[in-house]
Amino acid sequence: MSHVRKHIRGAILGAVVGDALGVPYEFCSRGEMRAAPATGMTGYGSHQQPAGTWSDDSSMLLCTAESLSRGYDVDDMARRFLRWFDEGEMTPHGETFDYGSITAEAMRALRRGVPAAEAGGAGEMDNGNGSLMRILPVGMWAIALQERDVLRISSAVSSITHAHPRSRLACGYYSLLVWSVLRDVYRQGERFDARTALRSALRVARDADLRYPQDADTARERVHYRRIFTGYFEDLPESAIASDGYVVHTLEAAVWCVLTTDSFEDAVLKAVNLGGDTDTTASVAGGLAGLLYGEDALPAEWLGALQNRALVMDVTGRFAARIAD
């Protein structure tokens, strides 16, 4: 298996593993996590699901990856999301659970025939992390495109469920991080260094957004993400990092967890142990960490415990082959 393909597979699998690690602890407070921290894959807990169960985060991410394996088409993505919501496709046990209210409303709009580009919530209160949690494949699919195209496509994909400029910008930033890291994987080969690549990616995301503003509304939202691009961000204490379902907090928490650790395992466990929206924080962190460290860095025990593992591996393999070939 090629070096590049291992990193692409590591990203998708890392996101699903992070999600599954976090599912049993969702809604636990930080104090509760300190008293009994997560140390590995476990089950039941918050959602009474068996160990290795992944949530809507991974279902929608896998829908996105499967759609992009066939080309970029937001209408196709939307149809796949609706089949997940209505029919339980791309789920560990054939049924949906744990989806957010903003996503649910977008699914109902799609069911009514609202076009994909117009289905997402665009209000100030529609800035949950439901599009950020599924955006990972976009940055990898767009590897041959330019920064402005990454921002444009991420914005459109976000808008299927979350159309406010703040959510669209979060997806753009994360996609640019992924895009930049993967370009370094291609360029550097076996000399690839995860820490250097991540720091470079943060500069790329900051500078690209400044060079290619999407629109005035999105440009005004930059202030909400200013901390991520400062030199002191990784030095912030845990007490300064929020881990609820607000899109700004999820992006910050995920990036902080990866910046302040040196392995996939440490990054995702740190994300889960922040408490709050544990599955999404760990999934977003796990996708980035999996891309940085590659598939071989994921604990075999965690991968082996994934529910409906055959489906996850099948979608991951198809997507990686599409991007790496």
- 107 class by beta-carbon count within 10 Å (0-12 exposed, 13-18 middle, 19+ buried): buried
Complete domains list, the chain, with CATH: 3-324 (1.10.4080.10)
Residue at token pair 């957010």:
100
Q: Is the pLDDT of residue 96 over 80?
A: yes
**Global pTM exceeds 0.95:** yes
The mean per-residue pLDDT over the stretch 214-237 comes to: 92
| pLDDT value for 38 | 98
Query: Looking at 40-49, 123-132, 164-173, 177-186, which range is the least confident one?
Result: 40-49
The mean per-residue pLDDT over the stretch 298-312 comes to: 98
Q: Report the C-alpha gap between 184 and 43 in whole angstroms.
A: 36
Helices (H), 273-308: 278-293, 300-304
Q: Report the C-alpha gap between 174 and 284 in whole angstroms.
A: 9
Q: Is the pLDDT of residue 213 over 80?
A: no
Residues belonging to the chain: 325
Convert the pLDDT of each residue in 263-296 to its tens digit: 999 999 999 999 999 999 999 999 999 999 999 9
Convert the pLDDT of each residue in 228-256 to its tens digit: 999 899 999 999 999 999 999 999 999 99
Of all residues in the chain, the percent with pLDDT exceeding 70 is 100
The mean per-residue pLDDT over the stretch 58-86 comes to: 98
| pLDDT value for 189 | 85
Q: Are 178 and 215 in contact (CB under 8 A)?
A: no
Q: Is the pLDDT of residue 214 over 80?
A: no
Instruction: Say which residue, 212 or 202, is predicted with more confidence.
Output: 202
Of all residues in the chain, the percent with pLDDT exceeding 90 is 92
| pLDDT value for 140 | 98
The mean per-residue pLDDT over the stretch 24-38 comes to: 97
For residue 99, the tally of other CB atoms under 10 A from its CB is 18
Q: Report the C-alpha gap between 148 and 207 in whole angstroms.
A: 11
User: How many angstroms separate the Cα of 23 from the Cα of each of 51, 205, 281?
Assistant: 9, 29, 11
Q: 301 pLDDT band (50/70/90 cuts)?
A: very high
| pLDDT value for 1 | 55
Report the chain's mean pLDDT, rounded to a whole number: 96
| pLDDT value for 211 | 85
For residue 300, the tally of other CB atoms under 10 A from its CB is 8
